[in-house]
Amino acid sequence: MMTSQQPYRCRTALALQGGGSHGAYAWGVLDALLAAGEVFDAVCGVSSGAILGTMAVQGFVRGGADGARAAMAQFWDRVVATNVLAPLTSHLDRWLPGFEVGREFGSNLAMQGIATVLSMFGHASINPLGQNPLRPILTDLLDRAALADPSAPRLFIAATAVESGLSRIFTNQDITVDALLASACLPTLFPTVLIDGIAYWDGAYSGNPPLGPLLALDPERLVLIRAQSRLRAGVPSQPADILNRVQELAFQTAIDAECALLPPTLTFIEYPADRALAGLSPESRAYADRAFLDRLFEEGRAAFRARAA
């Protein structure tokens, strides 16, 4: 706990990227890290990384490393049980009779294409009812009292202000369901989140995640867990594949620039997701089936073990 006499000492800081269901890879890395007895003093995350970090912090307060692992698992269990994209895709059968919606239409890019078609027929959004299926899950799971506990690791989650393009950082006491929804708001899928009269979209648009809040604590060690591909073999030629690669590159630019300027005295550890995500389609960011998430989870655990060996 930080007081005016005793500055906050940060040994290990975690930076968690967002990537929809690909965040299960980051979950696996963090689960293995905690199971090995590692501890963390601060976390910064965006999108699914923000939710993952929030669950880990509040779980840690309630039950240490085991509590953090249980809280993260509980969130992903709820994602599987509720199939969070079902409320969005269920409208398509009504709007486009005879149109079968399969898993391949779960991605942000596919949804963007469908939204374009719908707009031609007067539908402004793929989600005209303004539903966010994450809201009930986060309402049930968020423990604001635990986040505000003096023993809680420092938590920072970021969202992007739509009009200014600036990143807003929410800290332990500020983190609400709306703040988490803002950090994970892909605007073609979910309604824009208003907080204090300001509109917010996904935090990855301005930093994936921003490292400034963590570096301000002068950590001894920084651990970056990626959940998006940085390297991808081959040159895409199809429009959807091109757009996906453009998005991947854009989401890595800010974090790569920050990593290039890290102080040499800082121990930097990175868990890339390239191998785990190789061959996966853009649509897989929205897969919510148990086998898929468990596979990425185990890939994350394996990545930790390989580095520790």
- The residues that are catalytic are 47, 202
What is d(CA 170, CA 156) in angstroms, rounded to the nearest whole number? 6
For 181, residues 6+ apart whose C-beta sits below 8 A from its C-beta are 132, 134, 135, 138, 190, 193
SS3 at position 116: helix
For 295, residues 6+ apart whose C-beta sits below 8 A from its C-beta are none
SS3 at position 155: strand
What is d(CA 227, CA 229) in angstroms, rounded to the nearest whole number? 7
Q: Which amino acid is at 298?
A: E
Residue 246 is encoded by which pair of tokens? 């453009």
**Residues linked to residue 44 through DSSP beta bridges, in sequence order:** 15, 156
Q: Which amino acid is at 168?
A: R
What is d(CA 18, CA 180) in angstroms, rounded to the nearest whole number? 12
